[in-house]
Amino acid sequence: MSTEARHNGIPATLADGILENTGVPVAKCYQCGKCSAGCPLAADMDYPPSLILRMLQTGDAGLEEKVLRSYTIWVCLTCETCIARCPMEIEIPKMMDYLRQESLRRGTTNPRARDIIRFHRSFLDSIKFTGRLYEMGLVVDYKARSLHLLQDVHLAPKMYLKGHLHILPELIKGLPLMRRIFSKTSRRGGEAAG
Amino acid sequence: MKLGFYPGCSLEGSAREYAESVIAVAGEAGVDLEQVPDWNCCGATAAHNMNRNLSLALPARILAKAEAAGMKEIVVPCAACYNRLSVTRHELLENESLRREISATIEYDLRCDAEILNVLQMLDRHVMPAIGDKIRVPFARRVACYYGCLLVRPHKILKFDRLEDPQSMDAIIRKIGGDPLDWAFKTECCGAGLSVSATPLVGKLSGRILDDASIRGAEAVIVACPMCHSNLDMRRPHCDKAMKKHYTMPVLYITQAIGLALGIDPKTLGLHRHMVPVKFEKHPADAASARPAPPDAVKEV
Amino acid sequence: MSRIGVFICHCGENIGATVDCERVARACAGIPGVVHSVDYKYMCSDPGQNMIKDAIRDHNLTGVVVGACSPRMHEPTFRRACEEAGLNPFLCEMANIREHCSWVHEKSEVTTEKAIDLVRVIVEKVRRNKPLFPIKVPVTKTALVLGGGIAGIQAALDIANAGHKVIMVERSPSIGGHMSQLSETFPTLDCSQCILTPRMVEVARHPNITLHTYSEIESLDGFIGNFKVKIRKKARSVDEKLCTGCGLCTQKCPTKKIPSEFDAGLGMRSAIYVPFPQAVPNKPVIDRLHCTFFLKGKCRLCEKVCPTQAIRFDQEDTIVEADIGAVVLATGFDIKHADFFPEYGYGAYKDVIDGLQFERLASASGPTLGEIRRPSDGRKPETVVFIACAGSRDPAKGIEYCSKICCMYTAKHAMLYRHKVHGGKAYIFYMDIRAGGKMYEEFVRRAIEEDGVRYVRGRVSRVYEREGKLIVQGADTLLGAQPVEIEADMVVLATAAVANDGAEELAQKMHVSYDAYKFFAEAHPKLKPVETNTAGIFLAGACQAPKDIPESVAQASGAAAKVSALFSQDELTREPVIAVVNRCAPPLYSTCVGCFLCQAACPYQAIEKEEIRARDGNLIKTVAKVNPGLCQGCGTCVAVCRTKAIDLQGFSNEQVFAEVMALLNRSEANAGI
Amino acid sequence: MPEFEPRIVAFVCNWCTYAGADLTGTSRIKYSPNVEVIRFPCTGRIDFMLLLKAFAEGADGIIVSGCHPNDCHYTSGNFHARRRWILFRGLLDFMGIDVRRVQFSWVSAAEGAKWADVVNTTVEAVRKLGPYDNYRQIARSGGV
């Protein structure tokens, strides 16, 4: 990255930050739209992937804010269809990970994405406290966070009967290390899980 | 033969039948799957969405546990776990300073020398060669082999099969007497991690997959990923709703299909655990007209 | 004792503003052996040159150093001036005090010091220069034209019409190339074959042109004006002299289901075949890989029906050798086929075709007689999607460049389709429309405005088949990258133009360089667009880079002009910067010990073995010898020589070591006088 | 005390780097004057004894620069130079000459800015390494 692009050691634009932290060069995008054409969720996004790249290319603070407040970055499934077909091999999924984490850090998450974020938090909490995903606990925790108390209630008994749900969590032995891993990685930026 | 085995959380819970059928089929081939000791969750979508370092550290601990146990090949049946473990291994091998950083986090000096196998690779390498003569009930069904995203992408890292029209599962189906059809949604996304938090979207994405398979006359969809399974099976009502149709075809794990061909008891394979009942409408002889079915082929399993 | 003249140029302000030229001249006057040192405003002007000429005569100079611009700029100028004054031109050298000094440094003491250094170094070199004499080599006035497409045809005709002999070699059974496959040409929509076939016939009939079709180059040796080529004439299995081209054999041949190369796989041909009715020569070839006789040992139907007994099953490849003076490479290009695109079905869908296949569909001589019909079921497609940049501008697929011709031919395809299928819908997915060329932009506008072709700006992500339709998933980037899905009956990929298979091996055979994409490299991107780095070998057409017909023809004529200019001389003169192996008195004869490391290092096969024999004929020793005709003067041999027996004229060991020593030993001279 | 001004000799080929350095001039890109160029037809011509000679005569650093791989005017001279450089580097190291004093690079006729960059980085690098006199001392004393 060129020196003039930095200001007091902070990347001047979001695109610079992406390049510095993930190595993904936003400038490479020539707006062919192949990612948006193939994205299974493009129609459900507020800005399709190629448009996100275009907004970032401008370096315009207003547009960058729109990117960080977008629903797109949360509804992206990381299915990697975009990178599989991108002629410029721009790793959009990697960029999306960074944008999500930046959006969390700046507290600019999209209101429509609240459920998705709550789910992720519940998920990571479950791992943090038991080492593995405790599905029953995850669902209960997610419901408590999202207040979607009735969602999937019809499924639970059926799932239990079919042997899909454990009532009690399984705890792994290495839990102290797991806690250390969580605290070390949250110190190093990124979302403090839980 | 002994192989390392990382079941992952789903296979302990909502996808128990996958684990059961993997173990059963591997057992038939004399493959003993030994669990990675005290394994943890790989972090799945949540970790890499929320925290990059965590998304590397969690799989790294799993790799560390396997390495410490001397495992050289780790079978990872869940496509999502396979993807996370493979990507982590790749990133750490590519970037020495990152490898050191993550090693410090997990308090173990990782070498990343164990090979990670997805279920198709395990079947192809260790199971299919050993069960060639054990096919008792050819799985004479017209099926859609569904690979999903995570087995083949990112292709540069996983380097597994063909990117847009993979063939490895189709080849296995052919070997057990089935008829894999040519269809267009082999690697389209099912909605994966949004299953709980954005269910209507999952209904739409998975619905499109079921629709293409059913238009082409698939009797079943064959999968190799618990997330794909739960979205196509458990979320079937949402799919039906999104597509305004009713799809009845069952969704089977590849290992269940092999198990049936080997004559393993459906219960052992966990077929009863599916939300969409595993029933076939046509007699196998009608379904796979190109291939004469043996007379003892069962109508319903 | 040398008598050297030093001439420092101010180049107006260009040097004078930063370097104290007067001081440089004064300093140089103090160098031993320098008998004359002056500075002047413009050394390259007539008065400047006259100063040099006068000084040579007046001071009886044995060497001239001009401190001025780059030798790449004015060395020929000053050397000519010296020659006119009676001094061997190779005793004149330039010190580059402009590009390497005054233009790149600030005005300062240090800059002037450096200028003095640079001149001093060259003075030390010139002191050791020896008079050299240009080398003369004869010229064989026959050109080899490799490739019988439109570029090769044009080059061959131009050279032949200038009165020189031409040997044309074409790999396939007929000349005509890709142009013969095209339906109509942009931007005029005139019929491709109608304008091409008369040229093909002219090649065949031209008294100065010898045509070898179904032939390839075996090897090329030698150098400009004096190449030797070996041509492999592949066995046609038909006696060309006896065959009348009646066509009975091709009608009777029982093997008729071979995909026709000419119809891009959309039509069929027999095992004994003429690629297309207007082929030149109109003589069939037996495709031995498909012929029943060659596969199973029986059939011989063609032999039975041939009225002139021209079939020769036992014919073998023959090698033809020829002396030639120049080569025009016009081997053309290839395109990527639909199976190159996983996302568009790995070539599995019959109705996803490439541009060349569409040309055959649209051609009146094609498999559908010019009607646009789907290859799968012969139906007229109601909706056709054209995808531009299929593979081009796609680093992920390894093709970073723009294929240049696709924008135009895609517009033409869509236009032709709209003319031929009334009510049909034509969509073009594109990234940019590159229509630079005479009447090109107007042509594209016509497609959009008059012919109703719908342009969508975006790349297609995927094509898949569903209930007999091809579903095209694209996006409209001009509508905020909104997804677009089109149910098409046929998809035409404007696939990337790439170098021919085997281009790399051919380039190595011809000793020409090629770029990262295996296209042949021109000697200079701007000023030497038809030359290659190997003197006497020229480029024409798309073997250098993707080109359309007018450009290929223009370049072919350019190459022909270069060849004709070369052939206008009976002898060539070359710079004598070549390597020589030393000779000395017996019993040593030469310090060469005959290790022949130089031979292995030489890129031009210019090192030969020479046997030194006594009078009685007994071999004394074998030493290296440089063929002055082949040597290009790179000096690689000099650097590898263990005994310093081989040296490069003009850059001798003595000279370069003197330069290094002079450079690093600033004498009093620099101190300024 | 004035800053140490290293003396750098550049051995360049006529077709790529010399022309590239000409382009630096025509583009008026400024660079450090500590470098002086000696022109060769090709890097393949550069006898590495010349490098030793340059050190013996008091050079503090050396640049060897020619055409990019595959771009050699003489097809393969630069490959010979590269191969020789790999061997020579070992020899330099063995002789106790700091290999960082020799900069091997490719500068094409179109890379005027790169030439300035190569010169400036080399001058800076050698300036940091300080004056080089050891080899000259040995050479002068007749040791070499």
Q: How far apart are CA C236 and CA C316, in angstroms?
A: 8
Residue of C nearest to D58 (CA): C664
Asked if residues C159 and C342 have their Cβ atoms less than 8 Å apart, the reply is no
What does DSSP say about strands C579-581 and C646-648: parallel, antiparallel, or unpaired?
Answer: antiparallel
Per-residue model confidence (pLDDT) at position C398: 93
Q: Which residues of A touch B51 (CB under 8 A)?
A: 101, 124, 185-186, 190-191, 193
Q: Which chains touch C (3 or more CB pairs under 8 A)?
A: A, B, D
Three-state secondary-structure class, residue D75 = coil
> What is the average pLDDT score of chain B?
90
Q: Chain C to chain D, count of Cβ pairs less than 8 Å apart? A: 128
pLDDT digits (tens, 9 = 90+) for A90-110: 999 999 999 999 999 999 999
B288 pLDDT higher than 50? no
Per-residue model confidence (pLDDT) at position D91: 87
- How far D104 CA lies from chain C's nearest CA (Å)? 17
Check if A144 contacts B (Cβ < 8 Å).
Answer: no
Q: Chain B to chain C, count of Cβ pairs less than 8 Å apart? A: 20
pLDDT digits (tens, 9 = 90+) for A3-20: 445 556 677 899 999 999
Q: C473 and A38 in contact by Cβ < 8 A?
A: yes
pLDDT digits (tens, 9 = 90+) for C335-344: 999 999 999 9
Residue type at C459 in one-letter notation? R
C145 pLDDT higher than 80? yes
Q: How far apart are CA C168 and CA C170, in angstroms?
A: 7
Q: A174 and B40 in contact by Cβ < 8 A?
A: yes
Q: B41 and A174 in contact by Cβ < 8 A?
A: no
Q: Which residues of B touch A78 (CB under 8 A)?
A: 45, 48-49, 192-193
Q: Which residues of B touch A182 (CB under 8 A)?
A: 54
Three-state secondary-structure class, residue C543 = helix
A152 pLDDT higher than 80? no
pLDDT digits (tens, 9 = 90+) for C101-139: 999 999 999 999 999 999 999 999 999 999 999 888 889
Confidence of residue B185 (pLDDT cuts 50, 70, 90): very high
Longest dimension (CA), chain C: 98
Asked whether at least 3 C-beta pairs link C and B within 8 Å, the reply is yes
Q: A181 and B58 in contact by Cβ < 8 A?
A: yes
Q: B46 and A174 in contact by Cβ < 8 A?
A: no
CB half-sphere exposure, B100, CA atoms < 13 A: 2
> What is the average pLDDT score of chain D?
88
Residue from C69, C99, C102 to probe the interface with D (highest D Cβ count within 10 Å): C99
Q: Which of A35-44, A122-131, C570-579 tops mean pLDDT?
A: A35-44
Check if C600 contacts D (Cβ < 8 Å).
Answer: no
B202 pLDDT higher than 60? yes
Asked whether at least 3 C-beta pairs link A and D within 8 Å, the reply is no
Please provide the DSSP assignment of chain B as one string: -EEEE--HHHHHTTTHHHHHHHHHHHHHTTPEEEEPTT-----HHHHHHH-HHHHHHHHHHHHHHHHHTT-SEEE--SHHHHHHHHHHHHHHHH-HHHHHHHHHHHTS-----SEEE-HHHHIIIIIHHHHGGG--S----EEEE--TTTTT-SHHHH--S-SSS--HHHHHHHHTT-EEPP-S-TT----GGGTTTTHHHHHHHHHHHHHHHHHTT-SEEEES-HHHHIIIIITHHHHHHHHTS-----EEEHHHHHHHHTT--TTTTTGGG-SS----SS-HHHHTTTSPPPTT--S--
Confidence of residue B282 (pLDDT cuts 50, 70, 90): low
Cβ-based interface (< 8 Å): residues of C facing B: 342-343, 345-346, 348, 462, 464-467, 471
Q: C342 and B212 in contact by Cβ < 8 A?
A: no
Higher pLDDT, B37 or A134: B37
Q: B43 and A127 in contact by Cβ < 8 A?
A: yes
Confidence of residue B294 (pLDDT cuts 50, 70, 90): very low
pLDDT digits (tens, 9 = 90+) for B89-114: 999 999 999 999 999 999 999 999 99
Q: How far apart are CA B60 and CA C186, in angstroms?
A: 59
Check if A179 contacts B (Cβ < 8 Å).
Answer: no
ipTM metric: 0.78
B298 pLDDT higher than 80? no
Residue ranges of B 96-115 with Cβ closer than 8 A to chain A: 105-107
Q: D71 and C101 in contact by Cβ < 8 A?
A: no
Residue ranges of B 154-213 with Cβ closer than 8 A to chain C: 162-165, 182, 184, 212
Per-residue model confidence (pLDDT) at position C539: 97
Q: C533 and D73 in contact by Cβ < 8 A?
A: yes
Q: pTM for this one?
A: 0.80
Confidence of residue B283 (pLDDT cuts 50, 70, 90): low
Check if C667 contacts D (Cβ < 8 Å).
Answer: no
Q: C636 and D44 in contact by Cβ < 8 A?
A: yes
- How far C377 CA lies from chain B's nearest CA (Å)? 19
Q: Give every CB contact of residue D105 below 8 A, 6+ residues apart in sequence.
A: D63, D64, D65, D118
Check if B9 contacts A (Cβ < 8 Å).
Answer: yes
Q: C482 and A85 in contact by Cβ < 8 A?
A: no
Side by side, the strands of the sheet bearing B115-117 are B32-35, B2-5, B73-75, B115-117
Per-residue model confidence (pLDDT) at position A9: 64
Q: Which of A140-149, B48-57, C304-313 tops mean pLDDT?
A: C304-313
> What is the average pLDDT score of chain C?
94
Q: C105 and D30 in contact by Cβ < 8 A?
A: yes
- How far A113 CA lies from chain C's nearest CA (Å)? 21
Per-residue model confidence (pLDDT) at position D126: 93
Cβ-based interface (< 8 Å): residues of A facing C: 30-39, 42-43, 47-51, 81, 85-89
Q: C513 and D53 in contact by Cβ < 8 A?
A: no
Q: Chain A to chain B, count of Cβ pairs less than 8 Å apart? A: 173
* Pick from B12, B51, B274: CB nearest A170: B12
Q: How far apart are CA C78 and CA C61, in angstroms?
A: 14
Cβ-based interface (< 8 Å): residues of D facing C: 7, 9, 14, 18-19, 21-22, 24-26, 28-31, 33, 36-42, 44-48, 50, 53-54, 57-59, 70-77, 80-81, 84, 116
What average pLDDT does this structure show over C519-546?
A: 90
pLDDT digits (tens, 9 = 90+) for C221-244: 878 898 999 999 999 999 999 999
Of the candidates C318, C330, C240, the one whose C-alpha atom is nearest the C-alpha of residue C279 is C240
What does residue B143 show for φ and ψ, rounded to 5 degrees? Answer: -130, 155
Classify residue C266 as exposed, middle or buried by CB count within 10 Å of its CB (0-12, 13-18, 19+).
buried
* Pick from C460, C480, C484: CB nearest A51: C480
Check if A183 contacts B (Cβ < 8 Å).
Answer: no
Q: C458 and A30 in contact by Cβ < 8 A?
A: no
pLDDT digits (tens, 9 = 90+) for C650-660: 999 999 999 99
Q: A38 and C477 in contact by Cβ < 8 A?
A: no
pLDDT digits (tens, 9 = 90+) for D50-59: 999 999 888 9
Q: How far apart are CA C67 and CA C96, in angstroms?
A: 6
Asked if residues D67 and D43 have their Cβ atoms less than 8 Å apart, the reply is yes
Q: How far apart are CA C547 and CA C499, in angstroms?
A: 12
* Pick from B162, B164, B215: CB nearest C466: B215
pLDDT digits (tens, 9 = 90+) for C407-452: 999 999 999 999 999 999 999 999 999 999 999 999 999 999 999 9
Query: C168: which 2 tokens?
Result: 């044309």
* Pick from B41, B48, B270: CB nearest A127: B41
Check if A19 contacts B (Cβ < 8 Å).
Answer: no
Q: Which residues of A touch B55 (CB under 8 A)?
A: 97
For chain C, percent of residues with pLDDT exceeding 90: 86
pLDDT digits (tens, 9 = 90+) for B217-234: 999 999 999 999 999 999
pLDDT digits (tens, 9 = 90+) for C284-331: 999 999 999 999 999 999 999 999 999 999 999 999 999 999 999 999
B269 pLDDT higher than 50? yes
What does DSSP say about strands C607-613 and C619-626: parallel, antiparallel, or unpaired?
Answer: antiparallel
- How far C630 CA lies from chain D's nearest CA (Å)? 12
Per-residue model confidence (pLDDT) at position C227: 92
Per-residue model confidence (pLDDT) at position C512: 82
Confidence of residue C668 (pLDDT cuts 50, 70, 90): very low
D90 membership: H or E segment, kind and range: helix D77-95
B200 pLDDT higher than 60? yes
Q: Which residues of B touch C345 (CB under 8 A)?
A: 164-165
What average pLDDT does this structure show over A140-147?
A: 78
Confidence of residue C667 (pLDDT cuts 50, 70, 90): low
